[in-house]
Amino acid sequence: MLRAVDRYLQLPRRKYFSALEVHAAIIGTIAAVVVVIGYGFGIEAVQSLAPGFPTMKLRTACGLMALSLSYMLSLRNSDGARWGAVALAASVLALMLHSIAAPPVLVAENPWTAVPSFATLVCLAACAAAMLIITLAPRFGLFVGVLALVAAAPAAFRIIGLVIFGGAPDPISPLNTMALHTAALIAWFALVCLVLHPALPFGRALLQASLRGRLLRRALPFCFLLPVTAAAISFSTHELFGWPSEALFAFNAAFNIIVAALLIWWLSSVSERWQSEANAQAAQLSRANEALEQYASAAAHDLKAPVRHVLLYSELLEEALARGDIDAAKRHGKSVRDSARDLPGMINGMLDYSRSAYTRVNLGETSLSELVQAAVAQVLNDLQMVGGSVRVLTEARIRCDSTLVTTVFQNLITNAIASRRRDRPLEVKINCVNEGRDWRIMVEDNGAGFDPDFATVAFNPLARGVHVAGEGAGIGLATCRNIIQSHGGKIWIDPAYRQGARLVFTLPAGPEPAG
């Protein structure tokens, strides 16, 4: 439901207006059906909605129609529409106040003289006053919110009372003749149309994806329904068990305090969890920015050399063609091609590296062998060409993002192929050890290994070992580091391993990582 609410923010302005207009149009249409069919054709079922329930009075239906039309006009930018909205809202307010102050005498067969309940008159007057503030002085939007709650709370209580206890009116209640559809339309208009009006700040605050918006969407329904629910329970106990007013007051106070305390505690835990998520996202963004800054600096340095070569040999190519020296032109053209060959790989590497720095982790449980098999499938041709093999020595169930960790194994196997020794077949062994809170995973090969000086900078972007100079874009290990860090783990080269290369990384074995 909250995702559906959040979509309001993503809609263009005109569609946001259209969505609110639909709500107002439906409310006005229902009221018009009561006027035309219920009173025009005398069909009492439309007036009462259900047998035995109070009827929606003609004044109420006309007031709701005028308010819905006033609301739709208030969404227009023209002065004529604005003053039309003011006129309609002022007419409804005047009618309701007149009905409260000097109710007319009921004349037989004249439904217009039937007076709505006192609560209905107050609720409609509050809605009309809110519409006047919206159109004339939207800077006082806080008062609109207060008036909307003043109108919605009695209507919500009436809905609960009618649904639970039926339509029998209570002669001493100010809600005694409010109809079920009257209460529903008033609550609908107040909580949706008035609160979300684009001229007010409430809609933007409620619908935004920020921490404030998320808390408001969770807290406000409870705050609104809490007193209504307490009153409904009190009314029920009074009717069923005859509790005295003192007992009802004590029960009401205890109920509100307990639920409010639980609500505050729950909201504090929710905000704490969201704050942890925000901190994790900030840390991930910081890592991404650092990674991109490092890569941009290194890429700018490395891209200069091939670009200079392309420019130099292009000039030599032009001179050779001008002299008619075809052999020299061919040599220079080949040099241009060789110099430019590394550029696409470096650019693609930049994209892969930047994505790995901020990709969201989607955790799932996958076996280690499945991850390795998926990685081997992506480099199978290169592995077969060199006669290499990959073995998993210890099986385990790993909680990770299978796509990202497969990329880690793919990069490590690719590096092993590039650094293989020509005097023996390549063997890659993958082992893992459970260390309680972490899985320690080791990837070993029998290749040329890492130079000790290179091991200290191996995970920097665009770093290349001496034995693989000119191969790749130099971002494989840097990408692996970003992926492992996004899982909450670490990766390093084992300097004590001498039979080739051994890379070790950890992945948390327990709860999901931050980010």
The verdict on residue 390 lying in a domain is yes
Mean pLDDT in residue range 454-481: 61
The answer to whether 248 touches 238, Cβ cutoff 8 Å, is yes
Report the C-alpha gap between 22 and 17 in whole angstroms: 9
Domain boundary residue, one of 209, 238, 260: 209
Helices 58-74, 79-101: axis angle to 10 degrees equals: 150
Helix and strand numbers, DSSP H then E, in the chain: 17, 7
Give the closest residue to 122 by CA, choosing from 101, 96, 142, 156. Answer: 96
- The tally of domains found in the chain comes to 2
The verdict on residue 306 lying in a domain is no
The verdict on residue 487 lying in a domain is yes
Is residue 282 over pLDDT 80? Answer: no
The verdict on residue 466 lying in a domain is yes
Q: Which 3 state secondary structure label does DSSP give 501?
A: strand
Domain boundary residue, one of 209, 234, 250: 209
Is residue 500 over pLDDT 50? Answer: yes
Report the C-alpha gap between 215 and 271 in whole angstroms: 8
Structure letter (DSSP) for residue 54? P
Structure confidence by residue, pLDDT tens digits, 130-155? 999 999 998 888 889 889 988 988 88
- Supply 173's token pair: 């209640």
Share of the chain above pLDDT 90, in %: 24
Give the structural domain span for 150: 2-209
Domain boundary residue, one of 179, 209, 239: 209
The answer to whether 377 touches 413, Cβ cutoff 8 Å, is no
The verdict on residue 103 lying in a domain is yes
Instruction: Answer with the residue of higher pLDDT: 15 or 221.
Output: 221
Instruction: Answer with the residue of higher pLDDT: 479 or 104.
Output: 479
The verdict on residue 283 lying in a domain is no
CATH number of the domain where residue 444 is located: 3.30.565.10
The verdict on residue 356 lying in a domain is no
Which pLDDT score is estimated for 11? 44
- Supply 153's token pair: 């709370």
The verdict on residue 285 lying in a domain is no
Report the C-alpha gap between 416 and 472 in whole angstroms: 12
Report the C-alpha gap between 515 and 359 in whole angstroms: 9
* Mean pLDDT of all residues belonging to the chain: 79
Structure confidence by residue, pLDDT tens digits, 19-73? 788 899 999 999 999 999 988 888 888 888 877 788 899 999 999 999 999 999 9
Instruction: Answer with the residue of higher pLDDT: 370 or 219.
Output: 370
Which pLDDT score is estimated for 116? 87
Give the closest residue to 130 by CA, choosing from 114, 152, 109. Answer: 152
Give the closest residue to 131 by CA, choosing from 45, 75, 67, 191. Answer: 67
